Amino acid sequence: MKAAITTTAKYLPEEVLSNFDLERMLDTNDEWIRTRTGIRERRILRDPAKPTSFMCTEVARQLLDKRGITADEIDLIIVATMTPDMIFPSTACLVQGNIQAKNAWGFDLSAACSGFVYGLHTGAQFIESGNCRKVMVIGADKMSSILDYTDRSTAILFGDGAAGVILEPAREGYGVLDARLYSDGANGKEHLLMPGGGSLNPPSHETIDQRLHFIKQDGKQVFKAAVMAMADVAEEIMERNGLTGDTIDYLVPHQANQRIIQATAERMGIGMDKVMMNIEYYGNTTAATVPICLAELDEQNKLHTGSNLVLASFGAGYTWGAIYVRWQ
């Protein structure tokens, strides 16, 4: 038995932070940001009383509404995030409490930009084993809470957002059919990280002074690794499943950089008309990019029974992977 995505939903904060807004805050400009990344604007959830669990709860409520079920039918909630409300309790528990999913257990999954892809594969296992009938997988990040708005190399890239799906047992031949996931901590750990706040560098005056509670990225190194890895894994999932550029309906890639997405599509032999891209409007929302893309394809009625989707991601860790979904 495989797991099908039966419902999708997304939440994006209303406030838009454009490249022109950033020009007033940093030594940067719209043209540089657009040509190097593809981003024009991103959404920001400024209200400190609305953390990541707020966005997840909005998504969870929409998922229940759209599916027409009550919260007590949910068996498991997986929240993929690198900006949890707190180190503990988990954001998944906060969401479970907010929607009163009294029969659900849940946990947070830490895989940065690959969080949703990792979470989808994980959630699918609980359906495949027969252990769960309804699993919520949500990817959410309030990136504005860990961005250094004095660092132009990272501040321009990210935005806030959340989205998710409900997984349920699939009809024969449909659903999450294959996944190939990777990690490489040896090469990844130095190039994309938030050094402060954990057990290595617990919060102190020094960690604050050294700005260790913000995201740090060596963009060039990550770019090189991302271009190679995302294209390799997408190609691998195609080969394993006998897919070609013609038989794939949509590539649903992580939205970190338009140039990485284009390189992946090129290697897959798939035209840009079949590539879901919304980086222009939301920037990189980390664990939320892939499910936001899915939710938008679904809203636009582009997903039909039998549509072949390849989801692909690359992020901190390094973590990366690709998933083949045959839409039910």
Smallest distance, Å, CB 226 to ligand UT7? Answer: 4
Task: Spot the catalytic one: 19, 284, 293, 308.
Answer: 284
CA-nearest of 304, 277, 305 to 290 is 277
Please confirm, yes or no, whether 191 is among the known catalytic residues. no
Smallest distance, Å, CB 82 to ligand UT7? Answer: 10
Point out the residue whose Cβ comes nearest to ligand UT7: 219
> Residue 102 or residue 220: which is nearer to ligand UT7 going by CB?
220
Judge whether 18 and 40 are in contact, CB under 8 Å: yes
> Residue 27 or residue 209: which is nearer to ligand UT7 going by CB?
27
Residues that bind ligand UT7 (CB under 6 A): 28, 32, 36-37, 113, 152-153, 156, 219-220, 222-223, 226, 256-257, 260, 284, 314-315
- The set of residues, in sequence order, having a beta carbon less than 8 Å from that of 65 and lying 6+ positions away, is none
Smallest distance, Å, CB 307 to ligand UT7? Answer: 26
Smallest distance, Å, CB 158 to ligand UT7? Answer: 8
Task: Spot the catalytic one: 19, 56, 93, 113.
Answer: 113
Task: Spot the catalytic one: 93, 254, 257, 293.
Answer: 254
> Residue 6 or residue 313: which is nearer to ligand UT7 going by CB?
313
Please confirm, yes or no, whether 113 is among the known catalytic residues. yes
> Residue 152 or residue 274: which is nearer to ligand UT7 going by CB?
152
| Residue 106 per-residue DSSP state | E
Helix and strand tally (H, E) in the chain? 12, 13
- The set of residues, in sequence order, having a beta carbon less than 8 Å from that of 86 and lying 6+ positions away, is none
**Strand ranges for the chain from DSSP E:** 3-11, 16-18, 41-43, 76-80, 105-109, 135-142, 160-169, 175-183, 192-193, 216-217, 250-253, 308-315, 319-326
Separation between Cα atoms, residue 249 and residue 313, nearest integer Å: 17
Please confirm, yes or no, whether 121 is among the known catalytic residues. no
List residues with catalytic annotation. Answer: 113, 254, 284
